[in-house]
């Protein structure tokens, strides 16, 4: 057998080049589409935010940082930012807590005598919990308009009337309106995270739970000592997704709120203000400045959340 020097290296380089070319050919079209339909609009929004474009003229006037300076003194903008802050605190906490509770019951909390299993009918409950997720946001909004109707014909007020309690203006009282919309967000989102956390729990070996249960660990210990640490990465992802959802709740606020963000801007959010500023007042430059601010708020939240919630990965 004769060794042909140099052929192996050349053959390896050729195979490697062909592999990269094959991979690049598959990535080229998605990359081009991403640049055109995602990066391109972002870049355009950054440029428009530095102009006073009204949406009509072909050559907008460059105004520099004037739009961002106006944002600093815009009370409606800061009201929307405060509402996002409240949503960022409450929406992930409540949704994740409820979803973890339901997922634990559906996968682990129903077992007896050292065995882990879901509660009876857990497959049916999974479908029931996930059902709101398949409904369009507009449909959910219309449904809860009937639930929150301020007179006695509303579902909630009808139940309160049975207990002798006067009707409550769930969506027309400034102190209640945002909390009422937030409750609808939790109701709609919790089913997806039940499924997400259930998938994470099902990936944990059953031997771990059974060994802990045989050692006398109760449901409280099984959840906080074993389940929670082992699905922490999934919870972290869910937290970031819910934070982004808190910044992107335009449709539900549009449908449910009084006078689009009312009463008295008690429920307004940045996506709604961007839409109203652009398409009602034709101030596309100022609306783009709000969009840029929303972009940086979202990126900052995601980066901080991943940083703060980072923990060492537990390997089984």
Domain ranges in the chain?
1-48, 66-308
Task: Find the distance separating the first CA and the last CA of the chain, reported in whole Å.
Answer: 48
In this prediction, residue 121 carries a pLDDT of 74
* Cβ count near 246 (within 10 Å): 24
pLDDT tens sequence across 159-189: 888 888 888 889 999 899 999 999 999 999 9
Q: Over the stretch 73-88, which tens digit does the pLDDT of each residue have?
A: 989 999 999 999 999 9
CA distance 165 to 174: 20
> pLDDT at position 268, please?
92
Q: Which residues contact 66 (CB under 8 A, 6 or more apart)?
A: 52
**More reliable by pLDDT, 206 or 27:** 27
State the maximum Cα–Cα separation within the chain, in Å, rounded to a whole number: 99
Q: Check: CATH 3.40.630.30 for 66-308?
A: no
Cα 104–Cα 246–Cα 72 angle in degrees, nearest 5 = 150
Residue 262 β-bridge partners? 258
Report the pLDDT value the prediction gives residue 118, as an integer from 0 to 100: 67
What is the structure's pLDDT at 38?
A: 85
- Residue 115 pLDDT class (50, 70, 90 cuts): low
In which residue are the tokens 């203006």 written? Answer: 169
| Cβ(194)–Cβ(130) below 8 Å | yes
Mean pLDDT computed over 224-246: 86
At 229 the pLDDT is 84
The helix/strand count (H/E) of the chain reads as 15, 0
DSSP state at residue 294: H
Position 81 scores a pLDDT of: 93
Report how far residue 201's alpha carbon sits from residue 67's, in angstroms, rounded to the nearest whole number. Answer: 48
- What is the tens place of the pLDDT at every residue in 24-51? 777 888 888 988 888 888 898 899 999 9
pLDDT in tens, 261-270: 888 889 999 9
Question: Torsion over CA of 153, 157, 161 and 167, rounded to 10 degrees?
Answer: -100
Inter-CA distances, 193 with 16, 102, 206, Å:
41, 10, 21
Which residues are paired to 258 by β-bridges?
A: 262
């Amino acid at each position: 057998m004769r060794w042909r020097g140099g052929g192996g290296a050349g053959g390896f380089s050729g195979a490697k080049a062909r592999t990269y070319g094959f991979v690049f050919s598959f990535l080229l079209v998605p990359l081009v589409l991403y640049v055109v339909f995602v990066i391109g609009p972002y870049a355009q929004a950054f440029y428009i935010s530095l102009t006073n474009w009204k949406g009509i003229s072909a050559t907008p006037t460059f105004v520099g940082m004037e739009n961002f300076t106006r944002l600093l003194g815009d009370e409606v903008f800061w009201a929307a930012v405060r509402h996002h802050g409240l949503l960022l605190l409450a929406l992930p906490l409540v949704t994740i807590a409820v979803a973890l509770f339901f997922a634990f019951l559906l996968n682990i909390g129903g077992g007896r005598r050292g065995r882990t299993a879901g509660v009876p009918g857990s497959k049916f409950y999974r479908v029931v919990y996930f059902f709101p997720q398949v409904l369009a946001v507009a449909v959910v909004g219309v449904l809860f308009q009937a639930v929150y109707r301020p007179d006695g014909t509303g579902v909630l007020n009808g139940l309160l009337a049975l207990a002798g309690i006067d009707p409550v203006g769930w969506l027309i009282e400034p102190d209640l309106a945002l909390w009422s919309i937030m409750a609808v967000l939790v109701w709609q989102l919790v089913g997806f995270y039940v499924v997400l956390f259930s998938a994470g729990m099902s990936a944990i070996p059953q031997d771990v739970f059974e060994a802990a249960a045989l050692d006398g660990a109760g449901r409280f210990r099984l959840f906080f000592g074993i389940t929670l640490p082992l699905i922490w990465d999934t919870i972290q992802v869910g937290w970031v997704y819910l934070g982004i959802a808190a910044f992107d709740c335009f449709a539900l606020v549009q449908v449910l709120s009084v006078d689009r963000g009312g009463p008295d801007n008690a429920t307004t959010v940045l996506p709604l203000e961007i839409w109203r500023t652009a398409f009602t007042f034709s101030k596309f430059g100022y609306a783009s400045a709000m969009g840029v601010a929303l972009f940086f708020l979202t990126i900052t939240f995601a980066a901080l959340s991943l940083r703060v919630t980072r923990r060492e990965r537990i390997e089984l």
